[in-house]
Amino acid sequence: MPEPLKDFISNFITLPEGDWEIIQKKFNREVFKKNEIILEEGKICRYFYFLERGLIRFYCNVEGNDITKMFCVAPYCFTSKVSFRNQSAAGEGIQALTETIVWKIDYTQYKNLEKINSWNVFMRSLLNDIQEFMDNRLLESKVYTAEENYKNLMKRYPGIMAKIPLKHLASFLGVAPQSLSRIRNNLYKNERS
Amino acid sequence: MPEPLKDFISNFITLPEGDWEIIQKKFNREVFKKNEIILEEGKICRYFYFLERGLIRFYCNVEGNDITKMFCVAPYCFTSKVSFRNQSAAGEGIQALTETIVWKIDYTQYKNLEKINSWNVFMRSLLNDIQEFMDNRLLESKVYTAEENYKNLMKRYPGIMAKIPLKHLASFLGVAPQSLSRIRNNLYKNERS
């Protein structure tokens, strides 16, 4: 029983018990090991996921470089949106960065969920939440230097940051791994001096 | 009669004629002069807009600096999403960069539109379209230098780029105006040599 999903949905909307009974039956549990690929770039994303535990990254290959587009931390929902919606090849991959527990629902079952009004209201709130987050990320990437962005992330998510390999954090921040090493070393020196 | 809005919606969905009759009556025309403020930062955004003609920018003040978050080119729809949805103070402003023609609908009337199924399907498609665009912008801002981003924009939107003041383009690209001047001059020199 994915009770953490119920709690998650209830953060956004008032979920009628009858709707929850229908929703919960459609989700199946799956566990991914650390570094396991959840979705390969170029494959069709067949599922919508609830991330119960763990940390994942969205990545894509740009001119031979592995770029981390975004991280997602439990509890949250995720999918490769365009690929899932159109059931077409994904322009991005998804990887578990820690051992990860998900609850998933396939496309056909998901379409059935869309007949439930409370689910649609939940999804609209969730999409708004994601868009606000993306808006802020885009703004921060314009306004702040990589060093300032790194410091902000360290303040907000210290525990999570420690679990992310340097190379992924660097491409997420839009800098070379060597530059991020330098930023980290400077901050560490300043803290000790 | 905002026929361009009808054409715009029809790019996303099949719009029943009866629905259009209801929709079109709710929109009112307004014209903004070049540089006029459409929404002041901190005020409540009371309207959802269709941009029939012109070019606008979304901006916000970050630590005393006027940062351009995004541009929007006709024909497209816009609003300050969070502010409009919650009828709360906007964390951003909207300015017309050219003479601009909009069709607008207020919050109460907009809520009535949400009773029309085709409108909801249209809005979902539109939000997806916006999110894909934002995703790509965020990725490009990570992967490419300001110079490469500038070149890409010049290739895609040469006519529009010429209408945007340098300072707004610079903050949009996340660089100082002087840096963007230098980038432009270098490109111009290379083209001539």
Each residue's pLDDT tens digit, B20-70: 999 999 999 999 999 999 999 999 999 999 999 999 999 999 989 999 999
H or E element, residue B8: helix B3-10
pLDDT of residue B4: 94
A138 interaction partners in chain B (CB closer than 8 Å): 69, 134, 137-138, 141
User: Running DSSP on this structure, what letter comes out for residue A53?
Assistant: E
Q: What is the mean pLDDT of residues B117-130?
A: 89
Q: How far apart are CA A92 and CA A17, in angstroms?
A: 36
Q: Residue A87 region, left (φ>0) first, then alpha (ψ -120 to 50), else beta?
A: left
Cβ neighbours of residue A87 closer than 8 Å, sequence gap 6 or more? A44, A46, A107
From residue A177, give the alpha-carbon distance in Å to each of A20, A64, A67, A167, B92. Answer: 45, 16, 12, 5, 34
Nearest chain B alpha carbon to A65? B143
Which whole number is the average pLDDT over A15-32?
A: 95
CA B171 to CA A143: how far, in whole Å? Answer: 8
Asked whether the beta carbons of residue A132 and residue B172 sit closer than 8 angstroms, the reply is no
The whole-number average pLDDT for the span A174-182 is 93
SS3 A78: strand
pTM: predicted TM-score of the whole model, two decimal places? 0.86
Whether pLDDT at B124 is above 90: no
Grade residue B109 by pLDDT with cuts at 50, 70 and 90.
very high
Which amino acid does the sequence have at B16? P
Asked if A142 lies within 8 A of B172 by C-beta distance, the reply is yes
* Segment holding B52, helix H or strand E: strand B47-53
pLDDT of B126 strictly over 70: yes
Residue with tokens 């300043």: A190
B contacts of A127 (beta carbons < 8 Å): 127, 131
Kindly report the CATH number that applies to the domain delimited by A3-143: 2.60.120.10
Residue B1: pLDDT band (50, 70, 90) is: low
A84: three-class secondary structure by DSSP: helix
Nearest by Cα to B48 from B71, B12, B23: B23
**Where is average pLDDT lowest: A58-62, B71-75, B94-98, B126-130?**
B126-130
Average pLDDT for residues A52-60, to the nearest whole number?
97
Average pLDDT over residues A159-184: 93
According to the model, what pLDDT value does residue A1 have? Answer: 64
CB–CB of A131 and B131 under 8 A? yes
Which residues make beta-bridge pairs with B100? B32
Beta strands B100-106 and B47-53: pairing type?
Answer: antiparallel
Residue A157 confidence (pLDDT): 92
Mean pLDDT, rounded, of chain A: 93
CB contact under 8 A, A130 and B131: yes
Residue A94 has pLDDT above 80, yes or no: yes
What is the per-residue pLDDT for A132?
87
Q: Identify the sign of the CA torsion A17, A21, A22, A28.
A: positive
Tokens, residue B161: 């780029």
Domain ranges for chain A: 3-143, 145-193
Interface touch A173/B142, C-beta < 8 Å: yes
Asked if A46 and A106 count as a contact pair (C-beta separation under 8 A), the reply is: yes
Instruction: Collect all residues with Cβ–Cβ distance below 8 Å to B49 and sequence separation of at least 6.
Output: B38, B77, B78, B79, B102, B103, B104
Q: How confident is the model at residue A182 (pLDDT cuts 50, 70, 90)?
A: very high
